């Protein structure tokens, strides 16, 4: 677990070299201290929200996690870090500062009500749960924020998707408010995503099918956010181009769904089956079978397998991906 240096009680000052160009952007600031019920591992908990080391919307500096978010109250940015006594401090900036502060406990797992019911008996899984007891299953309550990267990740390598996301956010987003690291960028607005030119998506390496799905999602953003607020994302599957894998990836992050296993993933089934049986070549059907005893916690198992590195050893060269910009 990383944390700022001892004594750095407030690593986010109002006069840093990375202060925003608009001084008024940092006037709305809300600070808070959250006391979790366990020693929280911020990297494990917030890690799924970061789309690679070059993610413009989320970065880590000296143990401080910075996020740029389009909240229902307006744009905001948030810095989160851990004190030596186990408490978690946060500072939020911009019009969405209050919303981000109120949502912090849920972001850090406070609404994971079923956690105590998870008692794995498989030796490797039980060991992973003990080793990563600081991981909490949080939720962002921002559906489009999770849906756009998930769509970009369909049918391509993670490296391709992360590059496309970074290119598009930098081109279509705007600087995050507050004294945050240079380059921290707000995701584009739903309207901006919905109206993005096809050639802009093409230049970012996004093929026609994913481009069309992204625009459809953004056009229905308001309905999707309402569905997420009600805890039901079934409507997401009615969008052409969105399948079970995308719904699961969004549910994991936006709703903190402990059962939203990534069916249809290129790597998850093999990793889960190998971790729980030692057998290689696992597919969705085999994963469903070995996860049946963990109904209600299937994503929790998936995440612990990922955190503990329990998947099969990698063999063969890494897939290079396709360059849609040349097509």
70: CATH: 3.30.310.20
Of 147, 227, 223, 158, the closest CA to residue 188 belongs to 147
CA dihedral sign of residues 92, 29, 77, 19: negative
| Residue 4 clears pLDDT 50, i.e. is over it | no
Domain-embedded: residue 3: no
How does pLDDT run across 90-142, given as a tens digit for each residue?
999 999 999 999 999 999 999 999 999 999 999 999 999 999 999 999 999 99
Domain-embedded: residue 122: no
Q: How confident is the model at residue 291 (pLDDT cuts 50, 70, 90)?
A: very high
Domain-embedded: residue 321: no
How does pLDDT run across 205-234, given as a tens digit for each residue?
999 999 999 999 999 999 999 999 998 898
Position with higher pLDDT, 16 vs 295: 295
- Rounded to whole angstroms, how far apart are CA atoms 262 and 249? 6
Find the DSSP H helices in 259-317. 268-277, 284-291, 298-308
H or E element at residue 199: helix 198-203
pLDDT at 38: 87
Of 294, 290, 274, 292, the closest CA to residue 282 belongs to 274
pLDDT at 13: 63
Using H for helix, E for strand and C for coil, what is the string for 201-248?
A: HHHCCCCHHHHHHHHHHHHCHHHHHHHHHCCCCHHHHHCCCCCHHHHH
How does pLDDT run across 258-286, given as a tens digit for each residue?
999 999 999 999 999 999 999 999 999 99
Mean pLDDT of 232-238: 91
Question: Could you list the residue range(s) of the whole structural domain that residue 60 is in?
Answer: 27-113
Domain-embedded: residue 41: yes
Domain-embedded: residue 107: yes
Q: Give the chain's domain count.
A: 1
Q: Centre a 10 Å sphere on the Cβ of residue 210 and count the other Cβ atoms it contains.
A: 21
Q: State the pTM of this model.
A: 0.89
Q: What residue has token string 């489009």?
A: 144
């Amino acid at each position: 677990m990383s944390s700022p240096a001892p004594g750095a009680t407030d690593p986010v000052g109002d006069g840093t070299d990375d202060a925003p160009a608009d001084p008024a952007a940092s006037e709305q600031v809300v600070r808070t201290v959250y006391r979790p019920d366990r020693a929280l591992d911020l990297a494990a908990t917030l890690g799924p929200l970061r789309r690679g080391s070059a993610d413009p919307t989320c970065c880590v500096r000296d143990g401080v996690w910075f996020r740029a978010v389009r909240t229902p109250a307006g744009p905001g940015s948030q810095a989160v870090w851990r004190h030596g006594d186990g408490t978690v401090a946060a500072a939020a900036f911009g019009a969405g500062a209050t919303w981000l502060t109120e949502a912090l406990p849920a972001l850090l797992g406070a609404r994971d009500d079923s956690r105590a019911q998870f008692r794995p008996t498989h030796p490797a899984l039980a060991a992973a749960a003990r080793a990563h007891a600081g991981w909490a299953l949080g939720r962002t309550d921002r559906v489009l924020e999770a849906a756009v990267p998930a769509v970009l990740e369909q049918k391509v390598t993670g490296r391709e998707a992360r590059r496309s996301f970074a290119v598009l956010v930098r081109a279509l987003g705007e600087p995050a408010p507050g004294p945050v690291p240079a380059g921290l960028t707000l995701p584009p607005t739903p309207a901006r995503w919905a109206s993005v030119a096809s050639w802009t998506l093409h230049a970012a390496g996004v093929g026609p099918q994913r481009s069309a799905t992204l625009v459809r999602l953004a056009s229905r953003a308001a309905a999707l956010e309402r569905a997420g607020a009600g805890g039901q994302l079934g409507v997401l599957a009615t969008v052409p181009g969105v399948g079970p894998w995308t719904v699961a990836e969004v549910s994991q992050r936006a709703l903190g769904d402990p059962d939203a296993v990534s069916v249809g993933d290129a790597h998850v089934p093999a990793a889960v089956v190998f971790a729980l049986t030692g057998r290689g070549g696992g597919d969705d059907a085999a994963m469903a079978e070995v996860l049946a005893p963990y109904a209600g916690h299937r994503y929790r198992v998936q995440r612990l397998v990922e955190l503990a590195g329990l998947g099969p050893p990698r063999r063969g060269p890494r897939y290079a991906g396709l360059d849609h910009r040349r097509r």
